[in-house]
Structure 1
Amino acid sequence: MSKLFTNAQQLLAAQGQDLGRTDWLLLTQARINLFAEATGDHQWIHVDPERAATGPFGACIAHGYLTLALANLFMPQLMQFANLAMGVNYGSDRLRFPAPVRVGSRVRGHGEILRVETLGQTLQAVVRISVEIEGSDRPGCVVDTISRYTFNPLEQ
């Protein structure tokens, strides 16, 4: 269940809020292969199941940046906006890949609003997204995303 924000005051008041978790997503070899095609990263640990089976992870693993990109998939499942003039990704801080994500794993996003600050008519929100791996104590990725949101003025 995503959290709906309809104005700046609601987002400002949500600082420190846990956004919960998304549904599970099965990470398939097909998704990994598509990412390899899109980025040109065809390293065998990602795309060669036979060789990867005898490698250090025992199977193909997702690219770290694929795991990071899932934050963009999970964010709208955690946060929704109405009455928004514009929202943009501004960047990220503190990116880590604590555990490999093996093909066939199920992952989900966990979100926390760390900070919200006012920048003129815009709000900047830092939201930590952890890509959790089912059955693992360590996430596949933890990133503090930075987004900027400008709400339409409220009608009087």
Structure 2
Amino acid sequence: MFKLRNLSLFLAVLSLGLSSCSKDSDATPEAAPQVEGTWQFTKEGTITNNQEVLNNYEHTTGCTKDYIEIFGGNVIKDHYFDNPNCQETIDTGTWNKSNNALTFVYQNGNTVNAEIMQLTNTTLKLKFVVSGSTNLIVLTRM
């Protein structure tokens, strides 16, 4: 299974701050789910022959679980705990959203273009291509 560290060079996510309401309704409009927040990696996988194959994300046993912080101001921080003593590695960068597309640009120069497949108050599912393979990542809001 590929390690998400490679794709973290991608993840920084967007703000989907649209709300809607009906002219005929007095109800308070509900805000659309926001991309900004702290998200834990929960599943990873691929799309092969139009079939999604998702597996649990493998966090390093005994360490804090890997997660990503998406901040307003287009800042992203990926937190990984995969080295021998559970020391934290942080990859930082910027993110930009255009419609359902997210672009992540990391300080090391890596750029990842992702498509938002699902965004709710609790789940963010992204699709992106790495080395010709279509990959998926599912994150859960912390």
**TM over 0.5, yes or no?**
no
- Asked which structure has the greater CA Rg, the reply is 1
TM-score between the two structures when normalised by the length of structure 2 = 0.32
Higher relative contact order (CA 8 A, sep 6+): 1
